[in-house]
Amino acid sequence: MTYSEIKIKINEEVGFGSLFSITVLKGVVPFTFKEKWVKVRRNRFEVTRGKPTSIVGQRSASDFLTSFNLDYNSTGNLFETSLIGNEVTIKFKDPTCKIISFEAKNIILGNSFPITVKTEHTITNYEFVLLKLTAVELIPSSRPCTHLRVRVKANQVIKRVTRPTVINNNKTDFVEFDVLRSGQNINFICESEAGQRVSQRFDIPNRLVSQSLRTTVNNSPYGATVIVNLRNSFLLSFQYSIDGNNWQRSNIFSNLANGDYTLHVKDQYGCLLKKRLFIEALGVSNPEFFIPKSNSIRCVKRSEAGIKSDRRIDDNRFSYEDPVEIPYTEYHIYSKTDNEPIQYKTNYKNVSIKAITKNKQEITLYSERKTNNIGLKDSRDAFVFPLENGNTGIYFKTGLRYNFDTGQSIGDYELLGGLPEWGKIGTYIMVNNAWFEIKNVFPSDDKQAEILEIEASIVQSESIERVGVIYNRDTVNVYEFKTDMGLFLNDDYFVIAITANDPRVPTLDRKSGGEGKRGDLGGR
C-alpha cells in the first residue's frame, strides 16, 4: 500500500551541479531528500551520468532514480519507484508523510541565481484517517490459569491481524484472541482497510502454578501471622482467603489459631490456586524431608506424597534401574566392623527407619536429633527508644540474658550493635509483657547499631528493657541414625526403608538398594 506520490518528468539532460530536492512533512517535522549531479559519484546523495538514450531526459531520469534508490530506498521498504520514458514516479509507503514541494536547479551555471532545470512534476497527497490503537485489554478467558483473552481496540476497522495470531476480514474496530500466559512481551501487528500497518508491543503475565505459592508463618502466643507470596507475579493482582468465602486484598492473615486451613489465592483473571495450610504453635507449616546423596547408603524416593512416579530420574532410581540394555551397577563394600552414620533433615511428626534383611526380618534403627532449630526461646536486655514517626526502636549492645520461662539471669551477651539471629521482619517479640511484630529493620548512624522497629509507642525516652522471643532457627532439624554391620552377619544383604508420617500430608517413603556386608557387594 502506498500513499503520497510525486511524478517528475525531466525534459533535458541535467548538467553537473544540478540539485533535485523533494521536501516532505512527516507528522510536523519537515525533511528534504536531495540528489546532486557530479562527474563521479563518490558519496551518498550524488548522481553521475549513465549511458545516453534516444529519449531526451531519460538518461537523467534513470540516473536520478538509481541514486535515489541507493541513498534512500535500499531495502525497498520506504518507497515504490518506477521509470517510464523520462518520467520518474516515487510513491511513499509511510502514511504520515506529506509531500510539500519539489525543486530542480543548477547552482553552478546560475552562479548567484540558480537556473531552473527543465522539469515537470505533479504531487498527490492522499487524505485519510490513520489507524491508531486506542486500547489493549487483558480479560479472562475460558482457561484462566493457562490463557488470557486479549482485546485490542482502534479508531477504525481493524481489517486484518498478522501477529501473534491471524485474523482475516474483520468487520469491527476491535479484535479478540487468546494467548498463552507466557510472561513474555508479544508484538501485535494489524492492518486497516486502507492497508496501513500498525504494531504495538505489550506484556503478558505468567501463568499461575502451585509451585509459585510460598507461605511464611510467624507465631506469637496470641495467634499466628501468615504471609503469602507468589513468584513471577508481575502485572498480576491478587485476592486471598482462608475459607474460600471471605476475600481480602492483603496477603497477610493475622491472629490465626492453631489448626488446618485451606489457603485460596485468585488473580484478576479468575485463576484460582489452593494450598493446604497447617498452623501449629511452633510456626512450622510445611512438612519437609531431605536425605543427601552424599551419605554412604543412598536412599531414593519410592513415593512422593504417597504416589509412585513413572519419571526415572536420579532421585527415584538406583544405578541398576537405568533404562539401558546392560545397566552399570555401582557397589559399596562394607565390613562387619562398619557402623555407618546416615543423616537427614526433616520436620515430619514421625519418622520410622528399618533395616529389612533378605529373609524379611525387620530391625528398627533409632535416630538421634543433632540440631535444635524449632521452638527456641531467648530473653535479653535491649535499648528501647521512641522513633520520630511514633513507633519504637530497639537495638542491642551488651547486657544480661535470661531464662525465658523463669526470668533468671543465665549470663551476659555482647552484640555491639548487631542483631540476634531472630532479629528479622515478621518475628514477634515480647516487650514489657506485650507482644509486637517487627515491622522494619534499618541501620542507624546515630546509635551505631541495627534497629528493630515495632508499630507501638511504649517508652517516652530511651531505656533498657527485657526483650523476649519464641522463634525457629530453621524449619527442620538434622537427625542421624547408624547401621551397625555387625547386626547382619548372617545375611547376604539388607535394605534401609524410611517412612515419614505427618497428619498434614500423605506418607513419604524412601528406600536404599541392597546393601552388602562383610565384603559382599550391594547395588546402589
Let me know if domain 289-305+313-371+477-512 sits in CATH 1.20.120: no
Long-range own/partner contacts, residues 137-143 (CB < 8 A, 24 or more apart)? 138/204, 138/205, 138/269, 139/269, 140/269, 140/270, 141/178, 141/269, 143/178
Cell numbers describing residue 520: 559382599
| Distance, CA of 435 to CA of 422 (rounded, Å) | 15
Sequence-distant (≥ 6) Cβ neighbours of residue 460 within 8 angstroms = 386
Note the pLDDT of residue 79: 92
| Distance, CA of 15 to CA of 181 (rounded, Å) | 63
Topology adopted by domain 133-203: Immunoglobulin-like (2.60.40)
- For 351-382, how does the pLDDT look when each residue is reduced to its tens digit (9 = 90+)? 999 988 878 889 999 999 999 998 899 999 99
- CA 279-285-286 angle, to 5 degrees, is 155
Block residue for cell numbers 508484538 = 187
Block residue for cell numbers 476475600 = 247
**SS3 sequence of 82-135:** EEECCEEEEEECCCCEEEEEEEEEECCCCCCCCEECCEEEEEECCCCCCCCEEE
The number of C-alpha atoms within 13 Å of 159 and in the hemisphere containing its C-beta is 9
**What is the percent of the chain with per-residue pLDDT over 90, rounded to a whole number?**
51
What are the extents of the domains in the chain? 4-125, 133-203, 211-279, 289-305+313-371+477-512, 376-471
Domain 211-279, CATH among 2.40.50, 3.40.50, 2.60.40, 1.10.10? 2.60.40
Let me know if domain 376-471 sits in CATH 2.60.40: no
Note the pLDDT of residue 211: 79
Predicted TM-score (pTM) of this structure: 0.48
- For 30-82, how does the pLDDT look when each residue is reduced to its tens digit (9 = 90+)? 999 999 999 999 999 999 988 889 999 999 999 999 999 999 998 888 899 99
Block residue for cell numbers 511514633 = 390
Average pLDDT over residues 291-300: 72
Which of 120-134, 402-416, 507-521 has maximum average pLDDT?
A: 402-416
| Distance, CA of 373 to CA of 430 (rounded, Å) | 20
| Distance, CA of 54 to CA of 102 (rounded, Å) | 26
Q: Do 376-471 and 289-305+313-371+477-512 have the same topology in CATH?
A: no
| Distance, CA of 504 to CA of 506 (rounded, Å) | 7
